[in-house]
Structure 1
Amino acid sequence: MISSELKTNDQNHLIIGGVDSVKLAHKYGTPLVVYDVEKIRQQIKRFKSSFDESGLKYEISYASKAFAAIGMYQVLKQEGLHTDVVSGGELYTALKAGFPADKISFHGNNKSYQELEMAVDNHIGVVILDNFLEIELLKKVLQEKHTSINVMLRLTPGISAHTHKYDQTGQVDSKFGFDVESGQDKKALKQVLAIPEMKLIGIHAHIGSQIFGVQGFEMLAQKMVDISAEWKKEFEYKPEILNLGGGFGISYTDEDEPIGPDIFINKIITTLKEATQKADLVLPEVWIEPGRSIVGPAGFNLYTVGSRKDIPGMTSYINVDGGMGDNIRPALYQAKYEAVVTNKMKAELTEVDHLAGKYCESGDILIDKQKFPALVPGDIVAMLDTGAYGYSMASNYNLNPRPAVVFAENGQDKLVIERESFADLIKLDKSYL
């Protein structure tokens, strides 16, 4: 099990960032999201070192949608990363955190006029254009404000990653980007090059999420160079930056076999060097957009065991005080996770149970079946590797408050997002009577 890599103390309690997880559960209550900040920093360093060894000019742009919070942006700033945002809310949060605006890129397939205006007013680094309407909207904003901005074109290259169908974004039939196969990319290129207020600095593509193989990235790198060569010949335009997106997979269970950042990056760089040399192009700056692979393994969702349902001849249900409201992925994607009992880390595994959430849905099952020690009310269960798309996709379904978020590092814990109260749930409600 993945749990074999976890640290415990002399009380056989799970340790997160040097802090006893049982104490965290008692101090802050459950459900609780805890991040081991050192794990985040270590993963960032792995990505950086792989690029540093290549000598290429590069940018690692953290994909905010995986987990966005003021505290997260502050860690990214400390580590010298770029970040991409996909909404006005993410942009607002990054700016409130003091994150440098010139190191922010703005994604999204339906950015509003107000969001584009916000991006321009705050002088962000680059807007990644996704469709023809957006070109016109941004042009209007820039002309009204008598200013300019860097842009990239997001392309749909016709490459599908081997992942869940909802996580595939590079194939032709996608809501994202300008389609290459039908020539939308060239039409967009000509439009943008004709707008003096826009400086086209590069092209972007993203082929999917939770990817375990390098072949898709090698194909993408080759495709982006081919497109660059074609654009140079037809339009005398050469992208300064090739942004190859993210999607690097992580291990949620023993069934997953992820590849390290160094392998992904080395394969991408090797392909780019060979392809650009063959096409007689200067090797461009390379950007990637990891999100899940930076924060996923660093996250833990802590729950308190409540009731259980034992059915003769069938698997028991262990009910916890969270569920699909703080981690929708098992219900939405049939995503698999592993869990440990934080106060019984060395106990013998004596039963196989369903780990069930408290939400009023039969599909609210966090883990279908797993071996556990004998569980009783009050035990603390930790789901592992929940740092990506857990809290960021959290909801108030059944009018349950969203959990608190704590950062743990070097034996210290810090509350970075307060638990919602019942009053928070209705603060926007207005009386009808």
Structure 2
Amino acid sequence: MAAAQQLSHVWPLGTTVDERGHLILGGCDAVELAREHGTPAYVVVVDDVRARARAFVQAFAARCDDFEVTFASKAFPCTAVYRLLAGEGIGCDVAGGGELALALRGGFEPARITLHGNAKSEDELRFAREAGVGTVVLDSLHDLERLERVVAADGRGPQTVLVRVTPDVRGETHAGISTGQADSKFGLGLAAAADAIARAQASPHLQLDGLHLHIGSQLLELAPFREAVRAIAGLGDFRTYNLGGGLGVAYTADQRPPSIEDYVEAKVSAVRELLGPGRRIVDEPGRALVANAGVTLYTVETIKQNVSTWVGVDGGMSDNLRPMLYGARYEAVLADRAAAEPQATVKLTGKHCESSDVIVDGAALPTPHVGDVVATPVTGAYGHAMANNYNGALRPPIVFVERGEATVVVRRETYEDLYARDC
């Protein structure tokens, strides 16, 4: 008989299996969490998030005198997550008015917030100005003109800005999360960026601090970052270079992303060697801060054999849309037999009225039974962010676990929530 399987490195830091075979997250029994809070449920190991935030800061501090680490909050826009990371002393970037409202509620200093967006409205820009947002990233000439009007009207003095450049560098990732190629919805090509730079520098309402670039998410190779820095080197001499985020994470045991230290070294050395010393470097990790801290718990509702073995759970594409959008791969375990030998390869499927609603295609599990609790790791990024009410599904709660204590930071939706906005 094969030996019991070991949990892979994709699980949150500190995850263990106890003597009963139960999965332990942040010192809490996953089976008990499911029993107490219901399923589906997002579980977040707080110490994992803290450790990764500190690792980013320490890696930059060891290599760079002037830097800022900012949370790319689209990955997990939850007030409690904002509060947790604000407490770690990093900055925050937001992709619209809603994320800005959450970041402010979560305690981020407005001056350390960066506003992104390829189609920012005047209302969002006014909100940012009223809040005192430190930096606005200009994504187009229309963006620049709109911000100039807002700043001129409010009389609060110039707004610090960066110009987002599309460097025509594509990282190896899914097309849906690639952003650095020439034909991108984000940023300005090199020629248009030069025009935007000149207009921003000439504007009495804008204070151009530097450039922004981002070539994509879930990148597992470092070479494209240097190529992107090389591409923008000819656009001028600036104080600040925001290099976006992009560091990939391991979703399955076979993936080995670069370490935080190697990622930071690649970016800092590229700036130093291609742009010169003394630059302020800003980095925007999102997924790499929160993905591996999150685990989603489900309950098995049905099992059937239709050529494949289909194991249907009580969630799916309403709480994790990534497999359906990007073909993303995940692992799964049974929470009460977390280290048991796999005995079946199944299609772990959601409950929604779509054939594509498959969470893990080819999950290796002990023989599953109705009522089992299934845990899928690496759902801290974009699970809650992309959660939806398809088929009237109720969005799951978020439960923080730390040192054996569990705290609900977002409650489960109710049916009343589904029609609370009806007029």
Q: What is the aligned counterpart of 1:173 among 147, 158, 183? A: 183
Q: What is the aligned counterpart of 1:205 among 190, 193, 213? A: 213
1:276–1:283 contact (8 Å) kept in structure 2:
no
1:2–1:254 contact (8 Å) kept in structure 2:
no
The Cα of 1:250 is off from its aligned counterpart by: 0.5
1:74–1:97 contact (8 Å) kept in structure 2:
yes
1:87–1:115 contact (8 Å) kept in structure 2:
yes
2: CA distance between counterparts of 1:68 and 1:276? 33
The secondary structure found in structure 2 opposite 1:178 is coil
The Cα of 1:223 is off from its aligned counterpart by: 2.6
* 1:226-282 residue CA offsets vs partner (Å, 9 max, x unmatched): 33xxx2xxxxxx3111011111000111332211010011122222222234xxxx4
The Cα of 1:133 is off from its aligned counterpart by: 1.0
Is 1:19 aligned to 2:23, yes or no?
no
Runs of 4+ in 1 over 6 A off after TM superposition: none
Output the amino acid matched with 1:158. Answer: D
Aligned to 2:7: 3
Is 1:155 aligned to 2:155, yes or no?
no
1:123–1:149 contact (8 Å) kept in structure 2:
no
Unaligned runs of 5+ in 1: 232-237
Q: What is the aligned counterpart of 2:146 among 137, 140, 143? A: 137
Q: What is the aligned counterpart of 1:293 among 285, 288, 294? A: 288
Aligned to 1:252: 251
* 1:208-235 residue CA offsets vs partner (Å, 9 max, x unmatched): 01101110011122233333xxx2xxxx
Aligned to 2:103: 94
CA RMSD of aligned residues (A): 1.3
Matches for 1:24-43 after TM superposition, within 5 Å: 24-43=33-52
1: CA distance between counterparts of 2:303 and 2:152? 62
2: CA distance between counterparts of 1:60 and 1:395? 30
The Cα of 1:2 is off from its aligned counterpart by: 7.7
Aligned to 1:234: none
Output the amino acid matched with 2:44. Answer: Y
Aligned to 2:304: 309
Matches for 1:357-396 after TM superposition, within 5 Å: 357-396=350-389
Unaligned runs of 5+ in 2: 10-14
Aligned to 2:12: none
1: CA distance between counterparts of 2:217 and 2:64? 27
Q: Residues 123 and 387 from structure 1, CA distance in 2 versus in 1: closer, same or farther, beyond 3 angstroms?
A: same
2: CA distance between counterparts of 1:13 and 1:2? 13
Aligned to 2:238: 239
Matches for 1:54-203 after TM superposition, within 5 Å: 54-147=63-156, 148-180=158-190, 183-203=191-211
Output the amino acid matched with 2:409. Answer: V
Output the amino acid matched with 1:263. Answer: D
May I ask how many residue pairs the two structures share in their alignment? 413
TM-score by length of 1: 0.93
Is 1:420 aligned to 2:413, yes or no?
yes
1:56–1:286 contact (8 Å) kept in structure 2:
no
2:42–2:397 contact (8 Å) kept in structure 1:
yes
1: CA distance between counterparts of 2:116 and 2:391? 31
* 1:175-232 residue CA offsets vs partner (Å, 9 max, x unmatched): 111111xx101111111112112111110000001101110011122233333xxx2x
Output the amino acid matched with 2:48. Answer: K
The secondary structure found in structure 1 opposite 2:107 is coil
Aligned to 1:262: 261
Output the amino acid matched with 1:94. Answer: A
2: CA distance between counterparts of 1:74 and 1:379? 33
1:272–1:283 contact (8 Å) kept in structure 2:
no
Q: Residues 2 and 86 from structure 1, CA distance in 2 versus in 1: closer, same or farther, beyond 3 angstroms?
A: farther
The secondary structure found in structure 2 opposite 1:310 is strand
1:82–1:103 contact (8 Å) kept in structure 2:
yes
The secondary structure found in structure 1 opposite 2:165 is strand
